[in-house]
Structure 1
Amino acid sequence: MQIKLKRRSLIGFSVIIVIYFIYLRATRSNREAKNVDSDLFISLDGENNNNQKSRFRDWNDYKLTEEEKTRNGFGEHGAAAILTNSSEIDLNEKLYHETGFSVVVSNKISVNRSLDSVVHSNCSNVKYYATLPNVSVIIIFHNEVLSVLLRTIHSVINRTPAELLHEVILVNDYSTNAELYDPLKKYLLENFPPKVKIKNLEKRSGLIVTRMEGARSASGEVLVFFDSHIEVQNNWLPPLLQPIVDDRKISTLPIIDYLDPFTFEYLPGQSNFQGSRGVIDWYLDFQELPKLPNDQMNDLKPYPNPIMLGAAFAIDRKFFIDELGGYDEGLQIWNGENYELSFKLWMCANRILTVPCSRVAHYFRQINPSRVSKDDYVARNFMRIAEVWLDEYKTLPKQLEPKRYENVDPGDLTIPKAVKKRLNCKPFRWFLNNIAPDMIERFPPLADPPKFASGAIQSVANPRLCIDNMGKLNDEKIGLDECSHDMLNPSLNQNFIYSFLKDIRQDHGRHEFCLDSYELRLTGCNNLSFGNQFWIYDKDSKEIIMNTSTKKCLTIILVNDSLTLDECNNEMTQKWNFAYVNETAYEYFNDIFGYRSILS
C-alpha cells in the first residue's frame, strides 16, 4: 500500500529529524568525555542492537594485563633493549647486517615478553559479539631468526582467546637455516598445544604461494595472515572478527605499529589514534594518506582503507579461497599481492576496513636478505597487476620507468583475467573516484607534475651560500655550501623542488626526501600536505615558513653559516630565493593542492 504524506506531516517529520541531529551533535562530545561506548551495540550495517545486549561480551583478558604489569627484564614492556658488552655489540652488528635483526638482542629478550598497552583507552569499554567465528592464524617464514619467530607465536597464543584460536599454521618456505627444522619442531612440541602446526615446503615458493599453502591447509572459519615478525596487543582479535560476522565479503586490518629491529622497542604508529589509509603512487609503491574527513569523527570506528599493507589481516576462509580465488599465484616471491587482493576486495566484493581497537606491531627491516634476487620479480608482479587491474592507467608505471619494464614479461594472465570477469568487477576508475578520491590529488598521474619552485635555494643575507644536503639524505640535517654555478640546474646536493604538496623535496630517482622541520633534516616524504614537512614559500616576502600556525621561518645564522628555525621577523636572514619560481602555479597557490587548475 502506498502512503501519501500531507505537506504538514512532511514538515513535522523534517523538524523531528533536525532536532534529532542537533541532539546527536550536542551530546557527542559529552559521551566521549565520559568514556561512554556510544557505538557499543551498533553493528556496522547500522542495526541498533541496544535491545540485544546479551549478544555481546567483554573479551578483554584482564588477568593477563595485570600479570604483564608485574614483569621485569631485558626488553620487557616493549622497551628498547641496549647491549653494553663490547663483544656482544660486535657480534650483534655482524648478525644485523646478515639478517636485518639484532640477533644477539633478540636472543636475550624473553620470547614470551610483556607489552604495555597502546590501545585507545576507550577500546576497553567496547564489547563484541559473544559468539564469534574461530580462526586459523597463518604465519609463513623463510630463514626467520628463530627467537623472533618464537616471540611471534607466543604473542599470538598468549593474547588470543583460546576458544577463538582454532589453529596456528606455520609454513616454512624452504629455509636454509637448520634451526628452523628439528629445533623449532622440538620447541613447538614442548611449549605449545597441538593446535600449533608446521608445514615444510620442498622448494622455495615465495610469500604468495606459501600463504596459499597455509590457507588450503586451514580449517578455521576465518583466516588471519601474519608476517613472521609481529607482536600483537591484548584483545587484538575480536575487533577484527565482528565486522566479518556482519559482512563476510570484506577483510579487516589492525592498526600497524612499529617494532625497531635493532632495539626491539615497541613504537606506536598512527599518532593520536587517527589511523591512516594505504594507497599506491604510479611507481606502484605503497603510500599512506590520512583518513578522509568523514571517517575522522570517531577514533574507534572501523574505517575504509583502499590498500592493505598485507602484513596482518583477517578474511573469511571460504570467501577468500572459493569466491575470490585467493591470491594470484602467478605473482612471485613478494610484493604486489596486497595490491591485487585489495583491488579484488573493493572492485569485486565489498570493502576493506581498518579496525582501530585492534593493534599489531610489525618489524620493518632495512635489510632483508631473503628478498635479494638477480631478477626483478617485483617489476614482473607490478606489471602483472597493472595489466589486469589498472585499465587505462596501466601504462603509467612503464612511462615513469621505461628501462625497468622494457623487457619484463608479466606471464600468462588468463587466470587472473578470468577471475576478474567471473566476479564482474568494477573498473579501476570507479576505485579512484569512490574509494581513493585523494589518490590522484596526492599522486597525479604525470611523470613531472607541476611545481611552485625549483632549483637552488639561495640565501639573500649571504648570496654566496645555498641550502645543501651535505651529501646526506635519510634523517640527516641539511646545511649551507657555496652555490652551484648553474642555480637553475645545480648539483644534486642543492637541487630542491617546492612541490604542489607544499613540501620542499629532493628527487633521487625512485626515492624522494623532504625537508622536515624536526632538526631540519631530510627524511622520506610523507605526501600529507600538513605537519612537519609542510612549508609555505612566500615568493613576495621570500620567507620559507614552517606551516602557517608556528610563525617560524627558516633562518641563516651568519656567525657560523648554519640553519635554524626562528620566529618570523622579516629580517634578511630569513629571506631566500628559489632559482625558478612558477608564476603560473602561484596563481593557483590556494587551490587544494595548487595544481588542478593547471592540469585542466
Structure 2
Amino acid sequence: MKQEVLGPGENGEGVKLIEPEYIEQNLEAYNETGFSVLISDMISLNRTIVDFRADACKSRKYLASLPNVSVIIIFRDEVKSVLLRTVHGVINRTPSELLHEIILVNDNSTHRDLYRPLQIYVRENFPKKVKIVNLKERKGLIVTRLEGARRASGKVLVFFDSHVEVGINWLPPLLDPIARNRRLATVPVIDNFDPDFFSMSSNSLYGTRAGFDWNLIYRIFERNIPEGIDPLKPFPNPIMLGCAFAIDRIFFLDELGGYDEEFRIWNGENYELSFKLWLCADGLYEVPCSRVAHSFRRINPTRVSKEDFLNRNFKRLTEVWMDEFKNAVYSRNPEAFAKTDAGDLTKPKEIRSRLNCKPFKYFLEEIAPEITSRFPLQKDHALFASGQIKSLADENICLDTLGRAEAEPIGLYACHPLDSNQMPPQTQFFRLSFLKNLVLGYSDYCLDSWRTSVLSCSGSKGGNQYWKYNPETHMLINGYDDNNECLTAVFSNQSLTIQKCDKQNQFQKWKFSYENETALNAWNDIYGYGSIDFRDYSVISLDSICE
C-alpha cells in the first residue's frame, strides 16, 4: 500500500493562511504576481498530486517505441517556486528514457531571482536535463516559444506554460498518436490548480472540445460521445487552449513554419496553429488519459503591454486564415479593426499557399460546426424579439446594464430615447435570439439568472441563460418552458430578481420594442439557426413597422 505523504499542499490539497500578518504579506505579492506566493513557497516542489485519470487509463497500453521529447517552458517574471514545481513535476512524472531535455526560456524577466539563483539551482539539481536560455529583450510568448523550439533537439516538442503540474504518466498517451502520425498534434485534458490556495480540481473525465465566438473569445463545448465509442480514445478537438501541447519538431518548424513571428506578446497563436493543423495537415487531438493541471490567474503581468497587440494578432489571423468569414469578426468591433495595422502578411500567406490548405469554410462545416450553430455569423440574425425591455409596471423604466462589468447584477433605469435610427443605447438593447437567450446588443454576452447578471453566452440549451417570452402574459420565464420562475422588477432599489411566476404580478410583466409574432407563435418548433427560412420570421414592431 502506498504511504500517504503529509505536508502543506500534498495530494493536491489547498493551503489557507491563518496569521493576519502572513495574509497581508501574501496579498501584496498576490496583487503583483497573481499567485499566493507565500503558499507556493510553503508547498514542496515535489508535492504529490491527484490522479484525475479514468481508472481504465491506468492499464492502457501504448507503443513500445515512442519518440523522445524536448519540453519547452517559457516564463517572464514567474514566481520562482511555481516555475520550479513545474520543472520538478516534469522530471518526477516523465519516463526518463523519453525526456530528452527541458529548455527554460526566460523572456527578459525583471526579477533577479530568475537569473543567477535559478541557474545555480538548476546546475546543482538537474545538470544534464535542464537548460536555461535568457533573452536579452522581451519577445512575448509566441517568439519566445520559437526561440526554445529552435534550440531543441528532441524528436517531439512539448510546450508548457510555466505554471502547470503534469499528471501521472502524462507523456506516453500524448506521444502515441504522434508516433503513429507525425502530421498531427496532441493536447492533454487541462485540469486546474487554484492560484489562491493551490488546490487541484478536475474539469472533465473524458475531455471537452473547444472553439471561439466571433469576438475570438475561446469557448468550451461539451463533448458528445456516441454510443459504442471508446471515451478514452484521442478525439478531434477544433481549437487548442495553448498552454500544453505536443508536436513533432521538424513538422512544426520546417513544414508548418512554426508560429507567425509577427504575432505580438500573447493570444491568437493557439487559433493560428489549430487552423494550420486542421486545414493543412491531419488535425489536433485531445488525449483523455493525459492530464496536465494549469493555473488560470486573474492577474497576469506577462500580458501587460502599451501596444494593442490583441487586435493586431487577431487581424493577422483573420486576414490570413478566415477568408470571407473575417467579416463576422470585424463586424463585432469595426472601429478597432479598421485602425489596426496587421503588418506585412506576405510570409504567412505564402505558407498557406505552399501547404495547399483547405478553405476556412471546411473548418466551420466539418471540424467545428458548433461555432456557427451557437454563435451566428450575422449579428442581426432573426429574432423572437428585440430592443428595449420596458416594465409594464412603469413603461418609463427599462432593463439596463447600468454600465456594470461582466458578472455584476444588472438592473432598472429610466428608458433612454432612441437614436436617429430608432435604436436604443447599448446598455438597454437586448435581443431574444432563436437560441432562446437574451443577448446584450450585438455582443456575445447574455442575461444569466445567476445574480441577474450579463455573462458570456454559453450556447447551451436550457439553464440559466434560457428565456421564454410569453406575448400574452408578457412574462419572461427562466430555465425551461415548464419552469415557473420569472424575471421580476424591484423598483425600491432598481434591481432585478427571479421569483415564482404570478400572472397577477405587474412587476413580472415586460414589453419589447419589437416582437416577432410569427416566430413567438412557433416557439416550440424553433431552436437555433440551422434549418430556418428567415423570410418566414420577419420582425414586427409593436410601436411601428421596422423597415
Question: Is residue 72 of structure 1 aligned with residue 19 of structure 2?
Answer: no
Pick closer, same or farther for the CA change 1:105–1:471 going to 2, 3 Å: farther
Distance 1:467 1:391, change over 3 A: closer
Q: In the alignment, which of 308, 313, 322 is matched to residue 254 of structure 2?
A: 322
Q: Structure 1 residues 474, 297: closer, same or farther in 2, change over 3 A?
A: farther
Structure 1 residues 568 and 125: CA distance shift in structure 2, 3 A:
farther
Give the alignment partner of residue 437 of structure 1, picking from 337, 352, 369: 369
The answer (yes or no) to whether the contact 2:502–2:508 under 8 Å persists in 1 is no
The answer to whether the Cα contact below 8 Å between 1:78 and 1:266 also exists between their aligned partners in 2 is: yes
**1:163-200: per-residue Cα shift (whole Å, max 9, x none)?**
22111111111111111111111111233352111111
Of 277, 289, 314 in structure 2, the residue corresponding to residue 382 of structure 1 is: 314
Change beyond 3 A, Cα 1:209–1:279: same
Residue 425 (1) aligns with residue 360 (2):
no
SS of 2:103's equivalent in the other structure is: strand
Correspondence 1:117 to 2:48: no
Q: Give the corresponding residue for 2:432.
A: 498
Whether the 8 Å contact between 1:503 and 1:535 is mirrored in structure 2 is yes
Moved more, 338-347 or 233-242: 233-242
Which of 212, 225, 239 is matched with 2:146 structurally?
A: 212
Once the two structures are overlaid, the 10-residue window that deviates more, 523-532 or 462-471, is 462-471
* Aligned-partner residue type, residue 349 of structure 1: A
Distance 1:537 1:252 in 2: 44
CA contact (8 A) 2:468 2:481 kept: no
Q: Distance in 2 between matches of 1:345 and 1:184?
A: 36
Say whether 1:572 aligns with 2:505: yes
Q: In structure 2, the residue corresponding to 1:128 is in which secondary structure?
A: coil
What per-residue deviation string (whole Å, max 9, x for no partner) do you get for residues 114-161 of structure 1? 222222233223222233222111101111111111111112122222
- Contact 2:469–2:476 (CA under 8 A) maintained in structure 1: yes
RMSD: 3.1
**What does residue range 115-514 of structure 1 map to in structure 2 within 5 Å?**
115-192=49-126, 194-270=128-204, 273=205, 275-292=207-224, 294=226, 297-457=229-389, 472-477=404-409, 481=412, 484=415, 495-506=429-440, 512-514=444-446
Structure 2 distance, partners of 1:241, 1:549, is 47
Structure 2 partner of 1:523? 455
TM-score normalized by the length of structure 1: 0.79
Return the offset for 1:327: 1.2
Distance 1:298 1:549 in 2: 35
Q: Is the 8 A contact 2:195 2:296 kept in 1?
A: yes
Shift in CA distance, 393/464, structure 1 to aligned 2, threshold 3 Å: closer
* Contact 1:275-1:291 within 8 A present in 2 as well: yes
How far apart in 2 are the matches of 1:281 and 1:504?
Answer: 16
Matched-pair contact (CA < 8 Å) for 1:135–1:167: yes
**1:392 match: secondary structure:** helix
**1:592 paired residue among 523, 527, 534:** 527
2:67 aligned counterpart, secondary structure: coil
**Deviation (angstroms), 1:108:** 2.4
- Cα distance change on mapping 1:303 and 1:329 into 2, 3 Å: same
CA distance in 2, matches of 1:148, 1:368: 14
Greater alpha carbon shift after TM alignment, 562-571 vs 538-547: 562-571
Q: Which moved further from structure 2: 340-349 or 94-103?
A: 94-103
1:106 is aligned to: 40
Distance 1:234 1:439 in 2: 33
Return closer, same or farther for 1:259/1:497 CA change in 2, 3 Å cut-off: farther
**1:249·1:316 contact (CA, 8 Å) conserved in 2?**
yes
Helix, strand or coil at the partner of 1:400: coil
> How high is the TM-score relative to the length of structure 2?
0.87
Q: Which amino acid aligns with 2:415?
A: S
Q: Distance in 2 between matches of 1:389 and 1:475?
A: 33
Kindly provide the CA deviation profile for residues 485-532 of structure 1, in whole angstroms up to 9, marking residues without a partner as x. 66997776665433333223435x86x543434455443332333443
Q: Which runs of 5+ in 1 are unaligned?
A: 1-62
CA distance in 1, matches of 2:386, 2:201: 35
| SS across alignment from 2:239 | coil
What is the rounded CA distance, in whole Å, between the counterparts of 2:479 and 2:334 in structure 1? Answer: 37
Paired residue type of 1:267: S
Match of 2:541? Answer: none
Deviation track 1:190-249 (CA, whole Å, cap 9, x = no partner) reads 333521111111221111111111111112121111111111221221221111122111
Contact preservation (8 Å) 1:138, 1:170: yes
User: CA–CA distance in 2 between the matches of 1:124 and 1:578?
Assistant: 57
Q: Is the 8 A contact 2:402 2:413 kept in 1?
A: no
Cα deviation, residue 470, structure 1: 6.5
Q: Give, as a single letter, the amino acid of the residue that structure 1 aligns with 2:336.
A: R
1:371-399 Cα distance to aligned partner (Å, 9 max, x none): 22221122121111112111222344333
Residues 485 and 310 of structure 1: CA distance in aligned 2, closer, same or farther (over 3 Å): closer
The aligned amino acid for 1:82 is K
Note the alpha carbon deviations across 1:445-478, whole angstroms, 9 max, x for none: 2243343334455566787876565664444455
| Counterpart Cα distance in 2 of 1:407 and 1:132 | 48
Cα distance in structure 1, aligned partners of 2:374 and 2:522: 16
In structure 2, what is the Cα distance between the partners aligned to 1:475 and 1:78? 29
Letter in 1 for 2:134: N
Question: Shift in Å at residue 552 of structure 1?
Answer: 3.9
Q: Is the 8 A contact 1:456 1:483 kept in 2?
A: no
Conserved 8 A contact 2:434-2:526: no
The answer as to whether partners of 2:206 and 2:232 remain within 8 angstroms in 1 is no
Aligned CA distance change for structure 1 residues 105 and 505 (closer, same or farther; 3 Å) = farther
Inter-CA distance 424–491: structure 2 relative to 1 (3 Å threshold): closer
Instruction: Answer whether contact 2:390 2:415 (CA < 8 A) is retained.
Output: no
